[in-house]
Amino acid sequence: MSLIKEIHVPDIGDFKGVDVIEVLVAVGDVIEVEAPLIILETDKASMEVPSPVAGVVREVKLKPGDKISEGDLILYLEVAEAVTAPKTGQTAPPVPATGGQTREVRVPDIGDFKAVPVIEIVVTPGDHVDIDTPLIVLESDKANMDVPSPFAGTVQSIELKLGDKVSQGDLILLLISAERDTTAKPQLPNTLSAIALGPRTPKPATATAPSPPPAPPLPSPFSKGEKDSMRGKVHASPSIRRFARELGVDLTRVVTGSGPKGRIVKNDVQSFVKQVMSGTFKSASLAGEGGGGGLPAGYMGIPPIPPVDFAKFGPVEVQPLSRIKKLSGANLHRAWLNIPHVTHHDEADITEVDAFRQSVAKEAEQRGVKVTMLSFLLKATAAALKTWPNFNASLDAIGENLVLKKYCHIGVAVDTPDGLVVPVIRDVDQKSIFVLSAELGELSTKARNKKLGPGEMQGGCFTLSSLGGIGGIAFTPIVNAPEVAILGVTRSQIKPVWNGKEFTPRLLLPLSLSYDHRVIDGAQAARFTVTLAGLLADIRRLLL
């Protein structure tokens, strides 16, 4: 007997709502282990999602343009039953042959909850279940919740036990579905226009009366990202959740409840429906003053730039921005609006360190690496961050506490044909100049070839942006939130410097330090650059 296995999006880091830019398989395709299924594109790079098992594609559940996150269903794959064996110690009773298929039933989307304990298993092997029949009961820190069956069929084996902790995507049981039961659970309509909250008066049936067209779905006042962030905050019992599903109500929109500890009760759901029906519902996120997050510019009091028809002034060519530039632009705009930026400019005398760099060039070449000034800048920056820990920190979500980081991961902005990407070099303080040079070269190559993985662009504490190979004397880099500072460097130049007796030619490197003024003040910024300049002027100080 074949097994229909669900293939879900694996761990892709902290990315959510990632775009599917290509689906590589179709129904009926025979695929091998590690065969690419889809291609995702983040704001930094493209990545393939491979198949964990071999089999035949039976149903594809997404299409190009869909936005997905970890745990989302990609497709159904028919594999040999031996791929999933029953757990040791579990013996399923014989199940009558139905000629159907074995389906995996997994924990659905339960919001941001993870490792939720199983407090009750409602079914046993051999039981016949219908769609929406409760299978297990989970207990979160807020309430108990039923996990219903998405299919009808006969339970073949239970894949968990009481006390197990489960998360979205974990396997609950194997279900043998008959041919007539293979239809998945229908989606409830997202409309409230046909709901009557009071007693219903039956109307006489008319043979010739056409059925009214379905009402259009109500627009949600929340974006997908807002709903994802609120999903874990819903505090309601299983019966209220079922009641809300029957009405097509998204409980994430019923922000607060009138029950104990803010629990949503039946009256809250009914009141919400009445408000939507009467047009008086107003989302808290839209009602707040001085908005932010993902709200349109108008909600933040910023007038939009009026559109201009440039073609009336002469010939034009419309060239779409790359995806990296579009997504990076949104991130930079958010950072610029939310962070009070200040930029401090200084210079570092790198005459001696550059001479030392050139002296080790042959040794580096023998090691297969190229030592650049950026390697020394990374090492000196790591030492400066230890001296001034406020620069190796982030504000918490409420902006009232400073999170000091005990590790030193530094991001380096890399110029690619599609825009800037920022791979992160980890534990810079613990690595030699040669190791840092090798990692810089490797990550830069991967960035230009769009081969960076999500984990290679996360966890940065501080960012370096170097324009030294191009030119310039200074610029104002934008802080890479949630970091609190970023260092920009431009082209070094030979300048005359007074040594107390005479002017001598010295190689000076311009430094441009942008910082979050909520965390760092001007005096701290000046001290940081003085410390950094001192380390670059005499690299022996790195040994102190």
| Model confidence pLDDT, tens digit, residues 457-496 | 899 999 999 998 898 999 999 999 999 999 999 999 999 9
**CA dist list (Å): 48 to 28, 39, 68, 127:** 20, 4, 13, 40
Beginning with the edge strand found earlier in the chain, give each strand of the sheet holding 101-106 in spatial order.
30-31, 55-60, 73-80, 2-8, 101-106, 171-177, 153-158, 128-129
pTM here is: 0.51
C-alpha 402/C-alpha 524 separation (Å) is 16
Run means of pLDDT, 10 residues per run, the chain, 544 residues: 81 80 88 86 74 89 89 87 44 46 85 82 86 82 75 89 88 78 42 34 40 41 43 63 75 72 77 69 44 39 79 92 82 89 97 95 92 96 97 90 96 89 95 95 90 87 93 94 96 94 96 96 96 95 86
Sorted by sequence, the CB contacts under 8 Å of residue 490 that are 6+ apart come out as 466, 467, 468, 471, 472, 473, 474, 475, 510, 512
Beta carbons of 479 and 518 less than 8 angstroms apart = no
Fold match between domain 1-84 and domain 323-543:
no
CB 104 within 8 A of CB 6: yes
- The matching CATH number, chosen from 3.50.50.60, 3.40.50.1400, 2.40.50.100, 3.60.150.10, for 1-84 is 2.40.50.100
Which pLDDT value is given to residue 85? 41
Exposure on the CB side of residue 277, measured as CA atoms within 13 A = 15
The CATH label, of 3.40.50.920, 3.40.640.10, 4.10.320.10, 2.40.37.10, for the domain at 224-300 is 4.10.320.10
Categorise residue 314: left if φ over 0, alpha if ψ from -120 to 50, beta otherwise.
Answer: left
Name the CA dihedral angle for 146, 151, 156, 159, rounded to a multiple of 10 degrees. Answer: -40
Chain-centre distance for alpha carbon 462: 20
* Residue tagged 């419309």 (tokens): 318
Instruction: Find out whether the peptide bond into 96 is cis, omega within 30 degrees of 0.
Output: no
d(CA 429, CA 382): 5
For strands 73-80 and 116-121, give the pairing. unpaired
Per-residue burial over 257-270, b if 16 or more Cβ lie within 10 Å, else e, is bebeeebbbeebbb
Q: Around Cβ 528, how many Cβ atoms within 10 Å?
A: 25
Whole-number Å distance between alpha carbons of 201 and 208: 20
CATH class of 323-543: alpha beta
Which residues contact residue 84 at a Cβ distance below 8 angstroms, ignoring those fewer than 6 apart?
3, 5, 104, 171, 174
What is the predicted pLDDT for the residue at 145? Answer: 77
pLDDT attached to residue 275: 74
What local confidence, expressed as pLDDT, does residue 247 receive?
72
CA atoms within 13 A on the CB side of 397: 2
Active site residues: 517
Q: Which residues of 303-340 are buried (b: 16+ CB within 10 A; e: fewer)?
A: eeeeeeeeeeeeeeeeeeeebbeebbeeebeebeeebe
Are the beta carbons of 253 and 219 closer than 8 angstroms? no
The token pair at 392 is 């190796």
DSSP state of 360: T
SS3 304: coil
Residue keyed to tokens 């073609």: 311
Angle, vertex CA 209, rays to CA 206 and CA 215, nearest 5: 125
The residue extents of the domains of the chain are 1-84, 224-300, 323-543
Give the Cα separation of 375 and 419 in Å (integer).
22
Paired tokens of 317: 């060519």
Confidence (pLDDT) at 233: 55
- The DSSP-derived string for 248-292 is T--GGGS---SSGGG-B-HHHHHHHHHHHHHT----HHHHSSS--
CA dist 52 and 63 (Å) reads 20
Buried b (16+ CB within 10 A) or exposed e, 236-245: bbbebbebbe
